């Protein structure tokens, strides 16, 4: 895995919104902890946001919240690099609906670091990257399944 930040894996971020003031009620923590323990990702930053019904924002870091709000997410606290600025947090807060809460997560994809290092050592460089939304992938699989069922039905009817 990436031993130093000289050869980091790709870094991603996301904002996950929850209805009401709770941050997933600790249900997500075991999955995040598993990814960290298997050294697939390294958490670089986390922030927690709440907007009241009037839209006023409350921000918190892991150390500001108790275990009942986060579950086992505290395991990532010692690894944080704090890459998000205050302005980043304010900009991301714009995506959250009043009366909702959100978790902001920034992570390094450690699993990809050796591949990226090999590409760089071979003289290559990343020239494009992107992400296909999960909903689009699910829709594509569902459409493929529907096409397969339709084709099978046509064969049976012939």
Tens-place pLDDT, residues 82-104: 788 899 999 999 999 999 999 89
DSSP labels for the chain? ---STTS---EEEEEEEEESS-SGGGSSHHHHHHHHHTTS-EEEEEEEEEE-TT--EEEE-GGGS-HHHHGGGGGGGGG------HHHHHHHHTTSPTTEEEEEEEEE-GGGHHHHHHHHHTT----------HHHHHHHHHHHHHHHHHHHHHHHH-
pTM of the model as a whole: 0.74
Residue 4 pLDDT > 50: no
Least confident of 35-49, 59-73, 136-150: 59-73
Average pLDDT value for residue range 17-32: 80
pLDDT (average), residues 74-83: 63
- Model confidence at 72: pLDDT above 60: no
Residue 3: per-residue pLDDT:
45
pLDDT (0 to 100) of residue 142: 92
Label residue 140 by pLDDT band (50, 70, 90): very high
């Amino acid at each position: 895995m990436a031993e130093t930040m000289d050869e980091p894996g790709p870094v991603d971020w996301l904002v996950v919104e929850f209805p009401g003031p709770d941050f997933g009620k600790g249900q997500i923590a075991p999955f995040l902890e598993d990814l960290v323990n298997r050294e697939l990702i390294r958490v670089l930053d986390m922030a927690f946001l709440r907007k009241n019904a009037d839209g006023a924002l409350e921000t918190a870091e892991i150390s500001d919240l108790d275990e009942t709000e986060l579950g086992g997410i505290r395991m990532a606290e010692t690894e944080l690099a704090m890459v998000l600025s205050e302005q980043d947090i304010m900009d991301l807060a714009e995506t959250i609906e009043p009366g909702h809460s959100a978790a902001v997560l920034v992570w390094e994809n450690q699993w990809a670091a050796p591949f990226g290092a090999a590409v760089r050592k071979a003289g290559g460089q990343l020239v494009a990257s992107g992400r296909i939304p999960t909903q689009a992938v699910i829709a594509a699989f569902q459409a493929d399944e529907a096409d397969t069922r339709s084709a099978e039905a046509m064969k049976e009817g012939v």
